[in-house]
Amino acid sequence: MQENPPLKRTVFSETAFSKIALILSELLKRSQARLVVFADMNGYPIVHRGDIKAQSLSTLTALAAGSFAASGEIARLINNESRFRFIYQEGGVYHTYTCSVGEDYFLIVLFEKQVALGLIRLLTHQALLRISSYIKELQQTSEQAKSFLDYEFRDMLSRQLDDKLRVRSGS
């Protein structure tokens, strides 16, 4: 089995969390879904809208993450260039539509069988684009801040070392 690179951790501020939650709320309302969940590929639920018990939410996202991992291995076995981005599961009462959001996250939509899959796909795709764009923006901002802090730290360390060396050498 192929090793996956570690996830790039993005820390979501309250503002970012609220913005993603708003996108999920809109998706939930417009799609008539029962539940919408945004989670990371480790299976950790980040934001959800709709009704579900906390322990069921964790189980659902862990299983969905496992499903993505398994589908990634299937893609590799059949020489697909990339993993599958969408997983649709059809049940007697409820269906799930799960899609990757970049490399590190996924979105689960739980909906009743009366709701048209085409509607779910369309609205989920729109939400996916908005969330993906927002996450890229957050990651770029995070990288810029990290570069700035790295520069500031190096500069401060250099000045302090210079000061200490000057004091010791008696200049």
Q: What is the pTM of this model?
A: 0.76
What is the average per-residue pLDDT within 124-147? 80
Both tokens assigned to 43: 């299976």
Tokens of 2: 């192929």
**DSSP H helical segments within the chain, as ranges?**
14-31, 54-77, 117-169
Residues 98 and 69 sit within 8 Å (Cβ to Cβ) = no
More confident residue, 35 or 2: 35
Question: 3-class SS at 51?
Answer: coil
The residues spanned by each domain of the chain are 14-169
Class of domain 14-169 as given by CATH: alpha beta
What is the reported pLDDT for 1?
Answer: 46
Confidence tier at 78 by pLDDT (50, 70, 90):
very high
Distance CA 143, CA 140 (A): 5
According to DSSP, the β-strands at 45-50 and 105-112 are: unpaired
Higher pLDDT, 98 or 103: 98
Determine contact, residues 61/43, Cβ cutoff 8 Å.
Answer: yes
pLDDT in tens, 35-58: 999 999 999 999 999 988 767 999
Tokens 């796909």 locate to 121
Task: Cite the beta strand spans of the chain per DSSP E.
Answer: 35-40, 45-50, 86-90, 94-101, 105-112
User: Percent of the chain beyond pLDDT 90?
Assistant: 57
Q: What is the widest separation between alpha-carbon atoms in the chain?
A: 83
CA 84 – CA 123 distance, rounded (Å): 19
